[in-house]
Structure 1
Amino acid sequence: MADRTIVLTMVDESHARPGSLLEVLLQSFKSGLDTQRFLNHLVIITMDPQAFEYCRLLHPHCIHPSTFEPYFSTKRQFITSPDHNVFSWRRNNVLIDVIELGYHIIFTDTDVLWLRSPLEKFDKLYELSISCNFSSAEERAHSMQEGGIFFMKANDEALEFMKHWRLKKFLYTSSNVEESLCATVSKNQDIAESYGFFVNEMDTNHFGGFCQVNNHMFETAYTIHANCCEDLRSKVHDMKIVLQDWIRFRNGVQKNNATEKVALRWPQKCIG
């Protein structure tokens, strides 16, 4: 964009194939309010050649660059792999590289539906704007999950904090160093502040997910994250239903039918 902001997502073969999450994500950009313009600024980083070839059929800005090759040398499957944090650390390495190039980053997971432009919710006075969700009330104190989308500013403060996080992972390989931005910042607030890395915690009502479904999501949400769902086919199934209902909701609003309510038909397969 004009201010050197780019939108990033990352996929592997399991996310970039016919009937996959990538197709639903791209469709949400086309169906959202003031979101189609982001497609011109969306860069899709592919983690394997198969994902790259399929991505190129759908979108003009797909890359599988040699500069990122060390992060993608080990093939893995998203979500279903017990080593899920491998992807998170690869993502964090990419974030560092992109920040060093001087680009502000809007990062979106592929299992996120864009309903409205989130730009007005990103406060660029902060290094990070993020929504932190929880898998359940009981796990609130222990399991802070990212809301599927965040904004990170390209400055020295963000870069040094991210490098500190990577160094900690390198030095303490046997420890369970958090890969979640939400958990890391929450547990390292003093360190973050010492680097000048400040966080804007965005309202979860604006960046919702399947973990916390409510009947007013279409009225308030900018994005909806298909979290609390481990199976990729179930994610795709329910995300398609959400997108269909969102289009019905938009059509009702355009017809000034304020009394029409869209009954939630989801999640269906992403339950439990």
Structure 2
Amino acid sequence: MRGKEGEEEDENEEAEEEGTGFSIFAPLAPLYLNYKVAEMMKRPSRPPSLSSSSFGRLLMDESADRTPRTVPRRLHSVVPAFLLLALTSLLCLLVYLVSGPIEFSPRPAAGGLLGKFGIEMKENVSGLSFESFGPDHEDARIRSVFGKAATKDKTVILTTLSEAWAVPGSVFELFLESFHNGVNTHKLLDHLVVIALDSNAFARCLSIHIHCLPLVTEGIDFSGGEKFFMSHDYLKMMWRRIDFLRSVLVMGYNFVFTDADILWLRNPFPRFYLNADFQIACDHFLGSSLDFENRPNGGFAYVRSNNRTIAFYEFWYSSRELYPGHHDQDVLNYIKYDSFVTEIGLRIRFLNTAFFGGLCEPSKDFNKVCTMHANCCVGLSSKLHDMRIMLEDWRKFMSLPPREKRLQLSSWRVPQNCSLPSE
């Protein structure tokens, strides 16, 4: 069982902070000030409008000064102020319409219901070719997107997306929906970057999320239908992911990587270990976070950027040559025992399925679960069916009165269409 240390670690709340908002009116401030100065130069004998303090004095003096002569004098001062306000508002509108869309926070809501800014953003990027985002400027694109999405300690949440999982009503929508239904998870969407592996996935991401990054692999087209488990394209996609995550660490970013078939039901950051470099979820957890016999699942990991993790990801990626035909998770199970991991001093922790569960080993306590993974499941239709059931079970739990939640009577109705291994 996980020790008390893991349960009480809540200093990582930096990663839960809201991303810094960006006001659409910030660029207009210099224009507004210039306009004010011009008005003052035209009428040097008195200010062009009423300041808040002068307006306050007028209100305070109104009861004492009620002679007919003061009424037109006030009107003479107030009318230019209203005209100035109207002209300034018109100027702001014109500048905005000319300059085009401006990125803002918070993001448009998921589920295809975009606000005005989201629609404009989509229209302006719809003409871009996914293939035009070649590898030459990949680092610059990463830094640009991550600079907007990262927390103060340079942590981002990452997921990859291909066409099969991006279509409306598929895995990606359920993934985003879970953030809106989870406990303290909605604001984490500000830090989620979706790595689009093909043009259709990129277009779909741009329509419903604010941080989208195209990842082009020369000579490989990840578009089309579902990449079946262990197929040639599937293996290429998995190893491209590991190489990308290595480059993220080199740039100095920490990350939580999450598969899109994982439901985020509760903020996981308080459950992470403070003294670990590499933390990973498990298909099967044997009771200790330090036990290397745990069966890790590469679909969910929290990794801090440092020399140890960079060396480890380089070692992991290069090890694909030693184990041809194996995917990243199998290779991880091989290399976790390698002396190289000990030599670099990598601190590994395996995450308890009580908090980070899945169909292989579901979390039993709804009051503790952070994520639920549709693992141990082959086939997109089966995965979608069971993910919907999981989300329904969670919503039902969240609708219960607090007293009934504490009774811990809720249970998952999955797996149904997904099949679990016999072990």
**Is TM (by shorter chain) over 0.5?**
yes
Please name the residue that 2:304 is paired with: 153
Instruction: Name segments (4+ residues, structure 1) moved above 6 Å.
Output: none
Q: Which of 229, 240, 257 pairs up with 2:377? A: 229
**Whole-angstrom CA distance in 1 between matches of 2:376 and 2:163:** 21
Instruction: Render the CA deviation track for 1:110-144: whole Å, top value 9, x for unaligned.
Output: 11011111101222421101122149xxxxx9993
Structure having the higher strand fraction is 1
The one-letter amino acid of 1:266's match is V
Q: How does 1:63-102 map to 2 (within 5 A)?
A: 63-65=213-215, 68-70=216-218, 73=221, 75=223, 77-80=226-229, 82-83=231-232, 84-102=234-252
| TM-score, normalised relative to structure 2 | 0.57
**Whole-angstrom CA distance in 2 between matches of 1:6 and 1:151:** 10
Q: Is the 8 A contact 1:48 1:64 kept in 2?
A: yes
Q: Secondary structure at the match of 1:211?
A: coil
Please name the residue that 2:173 is paired with: 23
How many pairs were matched up? 261
Q: Report 1 or 2 for greater relative contact order, CA contacts < 8 Å, sequence distance ≥ 6.
A: 1
Please name the residue that 1:2 is paired with: 152
Structure having the higher helix fraction is 2
The one-letter amino acid of 1:198's match is R
Q: Is the 8 A contact 2:362 2:372 kept in 1?
A: no
The one-letter amino acid of 1:234's match is S
Question: How many angstroms does 1:254 deviate by?
Answer: 4.0
**Whole-angstrom CA distance in 2 between matches of 1:163 and 1:202:** 23
Q: Is the 8 A contact 2:262 2:373 kept in 1?
A: yes
Please name the residue that 1:220 is paired with: 368
Q: Is the 8 A contact 1:71 1:90 kept in 2?
A: no
Q: Is residue 2:272 matched to residue 1:122?
A: yes
The alignment-based identity, stated in percent, is 30
Q: Secondary structure at the match of 1:63?
A: strand
**Whole-angstrom CA distance in 2 between matches of 1:80 and 1:205:** 27
**Whole-angstrom CA distance in 2 between matches of 1:244 and 1:213:** 15
Q: Is residue 2:344 matched to residue 1:179?
A: no
Question: How many angstroms does 1:49 deviate by?
Answer: 0.1
Larger radius of gyration: 2
Q: Secondary structure at the match of 1:218?
A: coil
Q: Is the 8 A contact 2:359 2:375 kept in 1?
A: yes
Question: How many angstroms does 1:234 deviate by?
Answer: 1.4
In structure 2, the CA distance between the partners of 1:74 and 1:244, relative to structure 1 (3 Å rule), is closer
Q: Secondary structure at the match of 1:245?
A: helix
Q: Is the 8 A contact 2:359 2:374 kept in 1?
A: yes
Q: Secondary structure at the match of 1:129?
A: strand
Q: Is residue 2:382 matched to residue 1:238?
A: no
Please name the residue that 1:107 is paired with: 257
Question: How many angstroms does 1:183 deviate by?
Answer: 1.1
Question: How many angstroms does 1:108 deviate by?
Answer: 0.3
Q: Is the 8 A contact 2:366 2:408 kept in 1?
A: no
Q: Is the 8 A contact 1:107 1:149 kept in 2?
A: yes
Question: How many angstroms does 1:197 deviate by?
Answer: 1.5
Q: Unaligned stretches of 5+ in structure 2?
A: 1-150, 286-291
Q: Is residue 2:357 matched to residue 1:198?
A: no
Q: Secondary structure at the match of 1:148?
A: strand
In structure 2, the CA distance between the partners of 1:219 and 1:157, relative to structure 1 (3 Å rule), is same
